[in-house]
Structure 1
């Protein structure tokens, strides 16, 4: 596959359309790019894969910068995809499986009180969730076999069974946990661009048992997924909600 390096990003061709794929770290970027079709002769690549850093703040800043730069070049993006590996809530999202978000949720943005956690929306501020286009989510699940459910964005990765249980109680449809999706979604929403989040499960959400992590398997699943996703993403019309 032909890849072009430009300002710290890898660009791979997948056909017509303009899609930005935001990953946290280079190994995720490379896994996504490895699944994309070989670059076609002539023309610019319509599917750009970038690294945006770890955590929602870094992801939001880098995604916003990429969207703004593209708009200023008069080549705006039609879709932003947050992609990478993450933790899966057991038993619904086993290690090695693929999850697509039907909700991108900021799970720990709020306040701890004596009565429990309050999301920031209940404090009278902002938002804590973004909903990807339902038709696109359906097409992704059909193409890849992924399960659809909420993907939680956290600033602190879950490391105990008690916190995993508390998150699942607050978010019964949650399938996965990661650290960048909500930041990417906030940047996309600010510019009116739809968002999608895709996670390959590398470990169970809960106690940090490094022996149970399967990062290479999750990266391989991400590569396989994007091999199937390229025609779905390039063929999707942003008005198909």
Structure 2
């Protein structure tokens, strides 16, 4: 398994069946197998069983709407070792040729505690299923941009990532002007707030308020009890 001193990004390409077409030496080292043995493997077989379902749902949704995403998962294998990798997933397409491109970053440990992680997985499952709805009925018919935005903010903040206005608008699935109105509405209701980026003041960070986090946590916990 990859040592904790390694911080370089790794990458792999998978086809529509999530079979690995190419992978760099760093990812092969993380898996603990030679590169030539990793190529041809099914990607989900390399991910911990508890994390496979949500990841597969998000990849299926990516093929429909083209929206990239990031997720942190354990590698398959001994739970005691707990090797965590963050997968930044996007679609590459040139004519009929297309691949899912994944850039991977090594994590020292689980990014969040078990309870929070379970709620994050619940939010990701709901997001994945909502994206799949759009495949059959279209976003105009079934879209709920404010709720999609709340789910995406909860997932990204659980991973410790900042969400900027533009990416929040994309996550809502609505046209930019509609998305900005939805953000303003959530701000007015005290669920979301806007903050200037401390590094680049031209950018605006969108994040859940304490009330927004509490209501999303309560909602997701309730969905897990159904």
TM-score range, shorter chain: under 0.3
Select the structure that is richer in helix: 2
The structure whose Rg is larger is 2
